[in-house]
Structure 1
Amino acid sequence: MTTSRIIFVTGATGFIGSRLVPRLLKRGHTVKALVRHPEQAGRLRALGVQLQSGDVTRPDGLAEGMRGADWLLHLANHYSLHERDESIFAHVNVQGNRNVMQAALDAAVEKVVHISSGVSYGVSPDQPLREDSRVGPHPNAYWRTKHAGDEVVQSFKDQGLPVVTLYPGAVVGPGDPNATGQWIRRLVRQRQVLRAFEGSGFTFVHVEDVAEAIVRAAEREDNVGERYLIGQEYLTNRAFVELVAELSGRPMPPIVLPDRLAHASAAFLEKLEKWTGLPPLLGFTGNSARHLAAGFRFGSSKAKDELGLMYTPVRQAVAEDIATLTL
């Protein structure tokens, strides 16, 4: 049985964090969570989590709140494929990382597990990706700032901070509020009439598998400095849309755009959004188009071999998300 630890968690109320915290508590750990609005974190409080008021973008008080913790699990980030003011990406994903890692160094935590993303590698020349793959171009601000944030973390590793980094694939599961879940909802509710970039795709991973990987990476004793890609099953964008259509009983979107036309259409819709002030039509913008066109692919065995991680079929993850919808 793993020795009980005091664990400081950022992003505890998020899609992954809400699955992670109960796992930690079940294994006998004490959890302290950084939350922006403690009065809105009743679920965490009911579980017995200690709430620390604060924000990764504000360094004041972070180290004091973290002091006494054995481990830091850093999940907080800003994930979006469209923002009118893109400075928020750097504010949270880069400066936020700097604030949190400095606090961890000041508080002398014994171990940090940093949760990044497969997008950090950009469009790598090494395909499929490996943990030691080279970094390629980044097609939008979210991808760029995830990598820039990782470089910040690396700079603290160079100062002696004991860090393990996880790179999940495209996370999916019940109640997904993020880009993949939004895509599923548009498809199921037949608000998605276009298909594009059908030959590109992503390695998907169940949200529960990511939470389990974080616990296992934290509890393993000899892996400081290691990196783990988290995911195994790759689907092209076409295959993913076909899966959603099959599981939901809804038809495939009827219009398929060639890649060049898709990029042009996305750019036009983005300009239309700026002119009108309305949300992007069909959730399609230049940033989201570049995201879909780039994709990423990996099937790393390292997390399975070293952490004993077993993966849930993507089909199950998608089915569970669809089941949460009111059709």
Structure 2
Amino acid sequence: MRVAVVGASGYVGSRLVPELLRRGHDVVATHHRSPATAYPWAGDVEWRRVDVQDEERVLEALEGVDAICYLVHGLDDEDFMRLDRQAADNVAYAAGAVGATRLVYFSGIVPDLPAAELSDHLLSRLEVEEVLAAAECSVLTLRASMVIGAGSTSFEVMRQMSHRLGVVQTVPAWMGGSVIQPVAVADAVWFLAEALERPDATGHLDVVGPDRLSYVALLRTYAARARLLRLQLPVWLAPVGAVARVAGALVDVPSGTVRSLIPSLGHDMVGRLDAADVLGEPPGGRLAVADAVTRSLATSRAGDGASDGASVEGDPQAPSVGDPGWARHRSVLSWVGARAWSAAWSAVRG
């Protein structure tokens, strides 16, 4: 099968492509500015340039493909909701126009709340789902909460905050009441590849791991597996906006992305329609949170061949040489101290 991965150079896409190659599929990998040549699989796919905001370019990029996996999310732009809607509309139209028979979208778990109570991040994901569902082919949305793996945006925020906040960590009290069901990236890409091969499954399903836990418990699990001594101090007066600004100042992940993600932490993000009930279980079963974290921390620096998380032979949980610079495991000591705290509190005051 000829599969187009729209967003191949992103985190999930970079781990999905080797899974598709392992299964024997031909892969068309799209890029916006230039091909992501650092990934080990870069020479094994057909690269096509695309601007998802341009309908004609989308049609050209998807010509001749049998299936499409759509992985584009525009959190970095202030107008990301409008841009995401337009991009989804272009892809939905192109899927029918080029004769693709399958479209799979990787979205986020949407809490069962009125639209007015959803963060812009979650509301945008839901709108994209609705637009793509109108495509003239078989469509399935796979929803996930936090994806655990070295290089994942949400995992890197957790990792960097855990290391840089020091022994005593102030944690917003409202995070203690929210429950999350994270999924290992190794399991997420298995479900995506399986979904592309199963046009009988439509609608939406939740891609989740076996554990349900609070965000506070998740931070404790990370600290234990990273062998960090951390004491959590709940803070009751911690507005979401202030928390987002502090987090954005303390980590290397782009601050706009962090500010878009933080408001979602106040919602329960657990599965209601488990993808495993429809698509089956990955070989060996799904990874528990603790095991997923351990495998994500097993290699401090991406190497060659099997040690690279985006290689066909590699462990998707591991880092890759193609991951963005802010995802590198860097010295913690160089960050902890006055400089980091000064930047954080300046962000709050500003």
With the shorter chain as reference, the TM-score category is 0.7 to 0.9
Q: Which residue of 1 aligns with 2:169?
A: 193
Query: Per-residue CA shift, 1:262-301, capped at 9, x if unaligned?
Result: 22xx43567x88xxxx954677987555321113122644
Q: Which residue of 1 aligns with 2:279?
A: 306
Aligned to 1:179, the other structure's residue is in SS state helix
Say whether 1:53 aligns with 2:49.
yes
Equivalent of 2:293 in 318, 322, 325: 318
Query: Per-residue CA shift, 1:175-195, capped at 9, x if unaligned?
Result: 22x133212221023358321
| Aligned ranges 1:115-154 → 2 under 5 Å | 115-118=106-109, 121=110, 123-124=111-112, 137-154=116-133
**Partners of 2:102 and 2:199 within 8 A in 1:** no
Aligned to 1:12, the other structure's residue is in SS state coil
- Give the AA of the match of 1:306: L
Aligned to 2:53, the other structure's residue is in SS state coil
Say whether 1:267 aligns with 2:241.
yes
Q: Which residue of 2 aligns with 1:163?
A: 139
Q: What displacement does 1:244 show?
A: 1.3
Aligned to 1:22, the other structure's residue is in SS state helix
- Distance (Å, rounded) in 2 between the aligned partners of 1:179 and 1:8: 25
Q: Which residue of 2 aligns with 1:220?
A: 198
Q: Which residue of 2 aligns with 1:73?
A: 69
- Distance (Å, rounded) in 1 between the aligned partners of 2:60 and 2:33: 18
Q: What displacement does 1:21 show?
A: 0.5
Aligned to 1:108, the other structure's residue is in SS state coil
- Distance (Å, rounded) in 2 between the aligned partners of 1:72 and 1:287: 26
TM-score normalised by L of structure 2: 0.74
Q: What displacement does 1:7 show?
A: 0.9
Q: Which residue of 1 aligns with 2:347?
A: none
Q: Which residue of 2 aligns with 1:296?
A: 269
**Partners of 2:104 and 2:142 within 8 A in 1:** yes
- Distance (Å, rounded) in 2 between the aligned partners of 1:228 and 1:305: 8
Query: Which residues of structure 1 form unaligned runs of 5+?
Result: 126-134
Query: Per-residue CA shift, 1:179-225, capped at 9, x if unaligned?
Result: 332122210233583212212131100011110001111112522x2
Aligned to 1:116, the other structure's residue is in SS state strand
- Distance (Å, rounded) in 2 between the aligned partners of 1:164 and 1:110: 11
Query: Per-residue CA shift, 1:227-273, capped at 9, x if unaligned?
Result: 21100321101111111121122232543112xx122xx43567x88
**Partners of 1:112 and 1:162 within 8 A in 2:** yes
**Partners of 1:172 and 1:318 within 8 A in 2:** yes
- Distance (Å, rounded) in 2 between the aligned partners of 1:64 and 1:221: 23
| Aligned ranges 1:92-103 → 2 under 5 Å | 93-103=84-94
**Partners of 1:187 and 1:253 within 8 A in 2:** no
Identity %: 22
Q: What displacement does 1:29 show?
A: 0.9
Seen in structure 2, the aligned counterparts of structure 1 residues 317 and 75 have a Cα distance that, compared at 3 Å, is same
Of 312-321 and 248-257, the range deviating more from structure 2 = 248-257
- Give the AA of the match of 2:207: I
- Distance (Å, rounded) in 1 between the aligned partners of 2:40 and 2:27: 10
**Partners of 1:169 and 1:231 within 8 A in 2:** yes
Say whether 1:36 aligns with 2:32.
yes
Aligned to 2:39, the other structure's residue is in SS state helix
Say whether 1:88 aligns with 2:80.
yes
- Distance (Å, rounded) in 2 between the aligned partners of 1:166 and 1:208: 15
Q: What displacement does 1:166 show?
A: 0.9
- Give the AA of the match of 1:43: Y
- Distance (Å, rounded) in 1 between the aligned partners of 2:144 and 2:191: 9
- Give the AA of the match of 1:16: V
Q: Which residue of 1 aligns with 2:316?
A: none
Aligned to 2:11, the other structure's residue is in SS state coil
- Distance (Å, rounded) in 2 between the aligned partners of 1:249 and 1:6: 44
Aligned to 1:115, the other structure's residue is in SS state strand
- Give the AA of the match of 1:242: R
Q: Which residue of 2 aligns with 1:242?
A: 220
**Partners of 1:190 and 1:250 within 8 A in 2:** no
Query: Which residues of structure 2 form unaligned runs of 5+?
Result: 301-328, 333-350
- Give the AA of the match of 1:151: E
- Give the AA of the match of 2:281: G
- Distance (Å, rounded) in 2 between the aligned partners of 1:314 and 1:78: 27
**Partners of 1:69 and 1:109 within 8 A in 2:** yes
Name the count of aligned residue pairs.
292
Q: What displacement does 1:17 show?
A: 0.8
TM-score normalised by L of structure 1: 0.79
Q: What displacement does 1:305 show?
A: 4.4
What's the Cα RMSD here? 2.8
- Give the AA of the match of 2:206: L
